[in-house]
Chains A and B, each alone.
Chain A
Amino acid sequence: DQQVKQNSPSLSVQEGRISILNCDYTNSMFDYFLWYKKYPAEGPTFLISISSIKDKNEDGRFTVFLNKSAKHLSLHIVPSQPGDSAVYFCAASVDSNYQLIWGAGTKLIIKP
Chain B
Amino acid sequence: DTGVSQDPRHKITKRGQNVTFRCDPISEHNRLYWYRQTLGQGPEFLTYFQNEAQLEKSRLLSDRFSAERPKGSFSTLEIQRTEQGDSAMYLCASTLIRLAGGHSYNEQFFGPGTRLTVL
Nearest chain A CB to B41 CB, angstrom units: 5
B112 contacts the other chain (CB 8 A): yes
Cβ contact within 8 Å between B105 and A49: yes
A100-B112 contact given A43-B4, A43-B91, CB 8 Å threshold:
no
CB contacts (< 8 Å) of A44 on chain B: these are 43, 91, 110
A91 contacts the other chain (CB 8 A): yes
Number of interface residues of A (CB under 8 A): 28
In whole angstroms, how far apart are the Cα atoms of A89 and B40 in the complex? 11
Cβ-defined partner of B103 (8 Å) among A32, A45, A46, A104:
A32
Residue among B41, B43, B112 with the highest chain A CB neighbour number at 10 A: B43
Nearest chain B CB to A91 CB, angstrom units: 7
In whole angstroms, how far apart are the Cα atoms of A74 and B2 in the complex? 31
Closest to B40 in A: A104
Cβ contact within 8 Å between B108 and A97: no
Closest to B45 in A: A99
Q: Which residues of B contact A (CB under 8 A)?
A: 4, 6, 31, 33, 40-45, 48, 56, 91, 93, 95, 97, 101, 103-113, 115
